[in-house]
Structure 1
């Protein structure tokens, strides 16, 4: 990449790759194995193809460099990579940028929650109880990993993300359980659906407005160049 050109943001997978190479030089297959063995696939989506592509892109940006090629037996040749000084700076700057200020991550679960009223109550309850089971399993898995790390005296600074993820899981589980109990107990009014057609039935409850009201200050500002036909 020529001088003066801005690098694209360092992606989560690129952060993981640069952090591994900060430990020691590795080839991409070893990087993949290490990420999976450390269960970092819980933090970053890891696929062999995307990892190889990320390493190649980092090399093009001169954030990593190829150090040598080796072959063991009949296995394919493997290129070992090392982090560069620019790569180390990019890693540290990106970590600092992420930690410094929260940014909207647009998780998909709140999107579904906001539109959950489009589903019949029995289906909603079944789905919520299914999610509760998954969250309980993930919470138990997080506890197991924490216990393993403590048993093997792994310095806590290397797995500080784990108690954070556990806190998120526990908070979500508590909220979903409370919401499920509220809906199941009738404390939360829900729309009615025709059991045969599945169509929404006429509803005349206290909150029967067709569309929810807009919160104050939420009116969209006009966009001069917006068009239904962008072409």
Structure 2
């Protein structure tokens, strides 16, 4: 299989899918794509910047997923190249969206790592930091709820902002969970390790000795076949 074929099968980036989605609506020049994405607040979905968008358009053109539709000039302004999606591009965006909807991807959110290692910090500091995060999350939630309300007032079909609904639901759940966690740490209901002189002092809960942890691999290890006589 040739190099161009391998490139065509490469996974599309989120911004590439957004660009191809716009071109499914109508041919556009890159600056119009950028303005449209920003006006729709779709920078919430990917890193939308003029430089990255122009680079994405160039890559899609090289892969023949879009093509030049027209080159025009308005007054003394520089020429503007208008692009259109190709049949291959339409097929790729359909395949890419189907894959993203069907298969969860491990995205390794930083909050998961931060919570897993939060015991490295003093309890009062963790409470302060969690409350700070909660303030930011509540502000984001309010902004997203405002987005939904504005869309409803403009009679925008819900199908065009399903991602906002999911984000609102996830944020509400995370806010509730983190709030309860912060209050448990603050009240002492959740035992927290102390760290005199930078070392960990065990809490009242004694960890299970390694020797007492059952070897779960023993029951699942492949058994050697005994020779038959």
CA distance in 2: counterparts of 1:51 and 1:215, whole angstroms: 53
* More deviation, 19-28/75-84: 75-84
Whose helix proportion is higher, 1 or 2? 2
The alignment partner of 2:68 has SS state of strand
The match for 2:45 among 37, 43, 46 is 43
Instruction: Report the counterpart of residue 116 of structure 2 in structure 1.
Output: 114
- Structure 2: which 5+ runs fail to align? 218-229
Instruction: Report the counterpart of residue 227 of structure 2 in structure 1.
Output: none
Instruction: Report the counterpart of residue 96 of structure 2 in structure 1.
Output: 94
The alignment partner of 1:150 has SS state of helix
Q: Deviations over 1:33-62 (max 9, x none)?
A: 111111111111112111111111011000
CA distance in 2: counterparts of 1:107 and 1:20, whole angstroms: 28
Where in structure 2 are the equivalents of 1:188-203 lying within 5 Å?
Answer: 188-194=190-196, 199-203=198-202
CA distance in 2: counterparts of 1:216 and 1:33, whole angstroms: 59
The CA RMSD measured in Å over matched residues stands at 2.5
CA gap of 1:158–1:2, structure 2 versus 1, over 3 A, is same
CA distance in 2: counterparts of 1:52 and 1:126, whole angstroms: 42
Instruction: Report the counterpart of residue 224 of structure 2 in structure 1.
Output: none
Structure number with bigger Rg:
2
Q: Is contact 1:191-1:200 (8 Å) kept?
A: no
TM-score by length of 2: 0.85
CA distance in 2: counterparts of 1:217 and 1:15, whole angstroms: 44
CA distance in 2: counterparts of 1:16 and 1:202, whole angstroms: 51
Instruction: Report the counterpart of residue 27 of structure 2 in structure 1.
Output: 25
Q: Is contact 1:21-1:83 (8 Å) kept?
A: yes
TM-score by length of 1: 0.84
CA gap of 1:94–1:36, structure 2 versus 1, over 3 A, is same
- Structure 1: which 5+ runs fail to align? 219-231
CA gap of 1:209–1:125, structure 2 versus 1, over 3 A, is farther
